Amino acid sequence: MGKCESCIIREFNSLKSLTREELIRISACKTGKRYKKGEIIFEEGESLNGVYCIRDGVCKLTKLSENGKDQVVKLVVKGDLLGKRSLVADQKTNLSAIALNDMEMCFIPKSEIMNDLAKNPNFTMDVLKDMANELRTSEESLVTMAQKSVKRRMAEILMYSHDNFGLDEEGFLSIVLSREDYASIVGTATESAIRILSQLKKEGLISTHGKRIKIEDYTGLKWIE
């Protein structure tokens, strides 16, 4: 496992505001963790005793609704810091994290982060800004859920995947989700998600091969309402 002070991942998150000395200290006490596709990283209600810095892979953050279904709240990727919120608020985590890929991450113990948070105002400010942005996107998703049709929401997650995770050699979305995952992101029944996807297929906007999806007409997706 490499050293934090020479790790480029940190440029993508708030850790970039730490001093060289702080990074060296963190480097000394961090541990590496690997998770296989489908593995649970942590579950809603657990107390986290640190944050996870994602080096590779994608995971979903979900929350169990009272109706018994999981809702995906956010997809997190390389560079994201997981568990900030719980640490800062000193609360049990409100979300579960489940790997969608094989993942590689560094785990930084709570005490070390809290220490830096207390002593390095730049770092605190950076975490604060980050949280402000998360809040904005969360509010945007809330409006999307409340106001847009299932079809529109599906189109949005397809475009999001395209923009953020890219395509494989054959032009399929490189992140492969089950229909159930799509349903849980869009906030609908699995069969509904499937139905919407086959509708999009009929309309020529996408094509599929097994669970893999290829976007055939990005612009077309954009205009769905």
Partner DNA sequence: CGTACTATTGAATCATTTCAATTCGGGTGG
Partner DNA sequence: CCACCCGAATTGAAATGATTCAATAGTACG
For DNA, the closer CB: 124 or 190? 190
Orientation angle between helical segments 20-29 and 110-119, nearest 10 degrees: 170
Pick one of 65, 91, 137, 178: the residue that binds DNA (CB under 7 A): 178
What is the spatial distance between Cα 108 and Cα 10, in angstroms, rounded to a whole number? 13
Binding of DNA at residue 64 (CB under 7 A)?
A: no
What is the spatial distance between Cα 204 and Cα 210, in angstroms, rounded to a whole number? 17
Binding site partner of 132, from DNA, a second copy, none, Cβ cut-off 5-8 A by kind = a second copy
Between CA 35 and CA 138, with CA 159 as vertex, the angle to 5 degrees is: 70
Pick one of 180, 214, 218, 220: the residue that binds DNA (CB under 7 A): 180
Nearest distance from C-beta of residue 165 to DNA, angstroms = 17
Nearest distance from C-beta of residue 135 to a second copy, angstroms = 5
Return residues touching a second copy (CB under 8 A).
63, 65-67, 69, 71, 73, 84-85, 88-91, 94-95, 117-118, 121, 124-125, 127-129, 131-136, 138-148, 187, 225
Contacting residues for 68 by C-beta, under 8 A, at least 6 apart? none
Binding of DNA at residue 91 (CB under 7 A)?
A: no
Binding site partner of 180, from DNA, a second copy, none, Cβ cut-off 5-8 A by kind = DNA
| DSSP letter for each residue of 198-225 | HHHHHTTSEEEETTEEEES-HHHHHH--
Of the candidates 119, 204, 209, the one whose C-alpha atom is nearest the C-alpha of residue 173 is: 209
Binding of DNA at residue 190 (CB under 7 A)?
A: yes
Pick one of 16, 25, 78, 179: the residue that binds DNA (CB under 7 A): 179
What is the sign of the dihedral through the CA atoms of 185, 166, 99 and 54? negative
Binding of DNA at residue 210 (CB under 7 A)?
A: yes
Residue pair 110/104 in contact (Cβ under 8 Å)? The answer is: no
Q: Which residues bind DNA (CB under 7 A)?
A: 149-151, 178-180, 188-192, 194-195, 197-198, 208-211
